[in-house]
Structure 1
Amino acid sequence: MGIQKEVSQALGDLIHRHSDKLTPADTRLLDVLMQDPVRAAMENGTAVSSRAGVHPASAVRLARRLGFAGYPEFRSFIQANLIEGGGDFENPAARMAARLVRADGNGLMASLLDSEISALQQVRNIVHDADIRAFSESLRDSRRVLVLGRGHAASLSALIALRLNRSGYVAVDLGSHMHQMAEALAALSKDDVVWLLAFRKASPLIHEVRAIAANRGATTLALTDPRAARIDPLPDHQISVSRGRAGESQSLVVPMTIANAVILDLAAIDGGRSLRALGAFKTFRATCGLTKTLL
């Protein structure tokens, strides 16, 4: 059920309980609120009244008829349902509004930091060293690593491929080579690793690449959040962890931290391969003569 439907249902229940008290002005206000509850959660009573074409005080009177002390308390009710309604947050505007609601009164930066810290803290209880080691051992023993993330995960996919290449591993960010994806996958073998990243939902392409990897016998790793956890066939190793609760920032901090842990653990178990490659790359970059802006 979508988050806007959750808010609309909560308003609908209120209207049903107090329908005998409502005036024509109340009905016009409620029509505006029901049409766009996300916007309603962000606006004050004067703004909502203006959009409904009624007297500025009408929103206050409506709130009181619905059992609230005033419009601010009524808006807090709408906001609480927006944040805690259990919606799927498929609507980007709803996600943004829910985050702004959480930040209201506490400060935007403080709210974002609290969200990130809370999401990172829960990783301690979900992701264990053995999970990280399963990923790093697969990477260490691979001939080649193909990394794929779509949407917001694409930026992390590119970063993982970059770091693996600098650590001396052959890694390809499939997302940046869409026009050559077939060529990259055609050579896939049991000696390769496919690392999939999926947040919010796994795209059809993720499932298609996973099926090809399974058919070719390649090892598949998946780093997902719970909404995208279902990948068929199941990956050989998967880490699924929340990037934050509904209404929180749900940024890349959590999956990026896990990816960094995997690459760091890889350096600890590959007999110095990563460290030697990083040293050699630093020397090359300093002496290659390429324009510094390219590096």
Structure 2
Amino acid sequence: MNTPGSPLALSDLISRHSTRLTDADTRLLDVLIQDPIRAALENGKDVSFRAGVHPASAVRLARRLGFKGYPEFRSFLQSSLTEGGNDFESPAARMAARLVKAESDGLLASVLDSEISALQQTRNSVSDADIRAFSERLRDCRKIFVFGRGHFASLCSLITLRLNRSGYEAVDLGSQVHQLPELLSTLSSGDVVWLLAFRRAPPLLHEVRGVAARCGATTLAITDVGGTRIDPVPDHQILVSRGEPGESQSLVVPMTIANAIILDLASIDEGRSIKALNEFRSFRASSGLTMS
């Protein structure tokens, strides 16, 4: 099947060979289509068992579809999964794709290779000027509102913590969604709204962006291609990849960028961050508070 013009989807194969398919083939295909993630991980015997057909039926189906045997057909299914497509809208599919890719090299090595690759792409796509555009706006603002949903809620919390310790008043909107109207009612033109959105920007993020636009606040955003459709367009936006389909979708990449921005902020704020960090350290040491 590695010939020019080979179809890239199972539906293409079914259409091409539909006149040759038997009742057993149809039952097998029903099983494959209903759960493509599981199909890409199972052998032909297991798929046949779930379809209630003879164990050899999966091999016959693979050959009717143009493959030498079921292992080659399974490799096709795995490639289709790891190369992306609509299946990647499902978190389970993305995890299954990563497991498929990890089979040959080992799980930890696969995750590490994916993270390294994503970080290298970031090195090539994000410049110091991009970082400086963020840090200058943060330095000169009155207050910083940080917002992200899903996995990025934890990163927003970390960004907010670091900014506050560095002497900047920052608010984690994602952790206080129930108080969003009260928090955003204080937003002014001297403030910054820092957004994080990957795969797609959730509706609530668009609403927060809309409020920021009406107030005249500066909006900064870190996104990937799927999160770029923010309307109105942010004042400054860093676009990164967290990994190819089928790879570990890195949280290290956006965290690394956020760390670089906060570090650059300390380099241009005339000692404000360093002073605040020293004062916080002294307070924590003398406060008598037990944090364990």
Does the pair score TM above 0.5?
yes
Distance 2:267 2:154 in 1: 25
Distance 2:119 2:76 in 1: 29
Displacement after TM superposition at 1:20 (Å): 4.4
Distance 1:198 1:16 in 2: 38
Deviates more, 1:83-92 or 1:103-112: 83-92
Displacement after TM superposition at 1:154 (Å): 0.8
Aligned to 2:85: 86
Distance 2:105 2:121 in 1: 22
Deviates more, 1:270-279 or 1:25-34: 25-34
Distance 1:286 1:105, change over 3 A: same
Distance 1:269 1:110 in 2: 38
Distance 1:210 1:18 in 2: 50
Residue type of the alignment partner of 1:182: P
Distance 2:16 2:220 in 1: 52
> Which TM-score applies when normalising by structure 1?
0.92
Aligned to 1:239: 238
Distance 1:161 1:145 in 2: 8
Residue type of the alignment partner of 2:122: V
Mapping of residues 260-275 of structure 1, within 5 Å:
260-275=259-274
Mapping of residues 82-231 of structure 1, within 5 Å:
82-87=81-86, 89-231=88-230
> Which TM-score applies when normalising by structure 2?
0.93
Residue type of the alignment partner of 1:249: S
Displacement after TM superposition at 1:160 (Å): 0.3
Aligned to 1:34: 33
Distance 2:15 2:192 in 1: 57
Displacement after TM superposition at 1:80 (Å): 0.9
Displacement after TM superposition at 1:23 (Å): 3.1
Residue type of the alignment partner of 1:247: G
Distance 1:236 1:30 in 2: 49
Distance 1:85 1:212 in 2: 35
The answer as to whether partners of 2:118 and 2:250 remain within 8 angstroms in 1 is: no
Deviations for 1:116-138, whole angstroms, at most 9, x for unmatched residues? 11111111221111110010011
Distance 1:22 1:149 in 2: 48
3-state SS in 2 of match to 1:165 = helix
Residue 10 of structure 2 corresponds to residue 11 of structure 1? yes
Distance 1:236 1:85 in 2: 31
The answer as to whether partners of 1:152 and 1:199 remain within 8 angstroms in 2 is: no
3-state SS in 1 of match to 2:179 = helix
The answer as to whether partners of 1:220 and 1:235 remain within 8 angstroms in 2 is: yes
Deviates more, 1:163-172 or 1:180-189: 180-189
Distance 2:287 2:258 in 1: 29
Distance 1:107 1:77 in 2: 20
Deviations for 1:213-258, whole angstroms, at most 9, x for unmatched residues? 1111111111111101111111111111111111111121111110
Distance 2:130 2:221 in 1: 11
Displacement after TM superposition at 1:88 (Å): 6.5
Percent identity among equivalent residues? 73
Residue type of the alignment partner of 1:255: P
The answer as to whether partners of 1:41 and 1:78 remain within 8 angstroms in 2 is: yes
Distance 1:211 1:80, change over 3 A: same
Distance 2:73 2:87 in 1: 23
3-state SS in 1 of match to 2:123 = helix
Give the unaligned 5+ runs of structure 2.
Answer: 1-6
Distance 1:175 1:223, change over 3 A: same
3-state SS in 2 of match to 1:292 = coil
Distance 2:84 2:259 in 1: 33
Distance 2:242 2:25 in 1: 40
The answer as to whether partners of 2:145 and 2:193 remain within 8 angstroms in 1 is: yes
The answer as to whether partners of 2:81 and 2:87 remain within 8 angstroms in 1 is: no
* Number of residue-to-residue matches in the alignment: 286
3-state SS in 2 of match to 1:89 = helix
3-state SS in 1 of match to 2:241 = coil
Aligned to 1:54: 53
Give the unaligned 5+ runs of structure 1.
Answer: 1-7
Displacement after TM superposition at 1:10 (Å): 2.2
Aligned to 1:280: 279
Mapping of residues 67-82 of structure 1, within 5 Å:
67-82=66-81
